[in-house]
Structure 1
Amino acid sequence: MAKYRKKPVVIEAMLHEVNPNEPMAVYQWVEENTLGSFEPMACINGSKPYPESGISIDPRDGRLLIATPEGGIHASLGDYIIKGVNGEFYPCKPDIFAKTYDLVGD
């Protein structure tokens, strides 16, 4: 067995929160930096595969639905949305985010 240290990588992230001044800020950020939005129910019911990247809103519960290389992942209010090193987006729970990342600036 060997031990490994995570490489220091600077990422971009946004907190998915209720913001009356910019209610769709996270949605727009992901949409503008991916293949865009997609029809969620076609992917959820299996009539279409999840796109390579993108964002939608799950009509069943209103949560964000982010297309990732692993498939669709839901993001709840309070989650951080991270832009990965390959330009992919995915949600991260706030407790894991706090243990993994330090703020380096705006």
Structure 2
Amino acid sequence: MKYRKKPVEIEAVQFDYEKWVYMRHTAYPMVNGDVAPDGGMMATNPVIKTLEGDMKVSDGDYIIKGVHGEFYPCKPDIFEETYEPVDK
């Protein structure tokens, strides 16, 4: 038997590592990470706590808000093959 994914509108934002380093709490509050031991601005290990556990977020990944309000990362090539913009 074959199945087709139901059309669902999602919210997503493309992750920008540099923006996260300087504006992490306002730009991407769903992404967690470590601050450099010297207290500097260099953040490391950006991750999102998902229903399946912590997932690493890389520069350029899309952060998708799921149908139940959860967040998870998606690689740009997969995102572009799976989703298209919705005109509103």
TM-score when normalising by structure 2:
0.75
Mapped pair 1:14 → 2:29:
no
Match of 1:55 in 2: 31
| Superposition map of 1:1-106 within 5 A | 2-17=1-16, 23-24=22-23, 28=26, 30-31=28-29, 54-58=30-34, 62-105=44-87
**In structure 1, C-alpha distance between the alignment counterparts of 2:17 and 2:70, rounded to whole Å:** 23
User: Alpha-carbon deviation of 1:28?
Assistant: 3.1
- Higher strand proportion (structure 1 or 2): 2
Q: Residue type of the partner of 2:33?
A: I
Structure 1: 5+ residue runs without aligned partners? 32-53
**In structure 1, C-alpha distance between the alignment counterparts of 2:67 and 2:26, rounded to whole Å:** 19
Q: Residue type of the partner of 1:4?
A: Y
Query: Percent identity over the alignment?
Result: 49
Match of 2:39 in 1: none
Map Cα deviations across residues 21-50 of structure 1 (whole Å, 9 max, x no partner).
Answer: xx536x53553xxxxxxxxxxxxxxxxxxx
**In structure 2, C-alpha distance between the alignment counterparts of 1:98 and 1:86, rounded to whole Å:** 22
Structure 2: 5+ residue runs without aligned partners? 37-42
Q: How well do the aligned residues superpose, as a CA RMSD in angstroms?
A: 2.6
TM-score when normalising by structure 1:
0.63
User: Alpha-carbon deviation of 1:63?
Assistant: 3.4
**In structure 2, C-alpha distance between the alignment counterparts of 1:73 and 1:18, rounded to whole Å:** 15
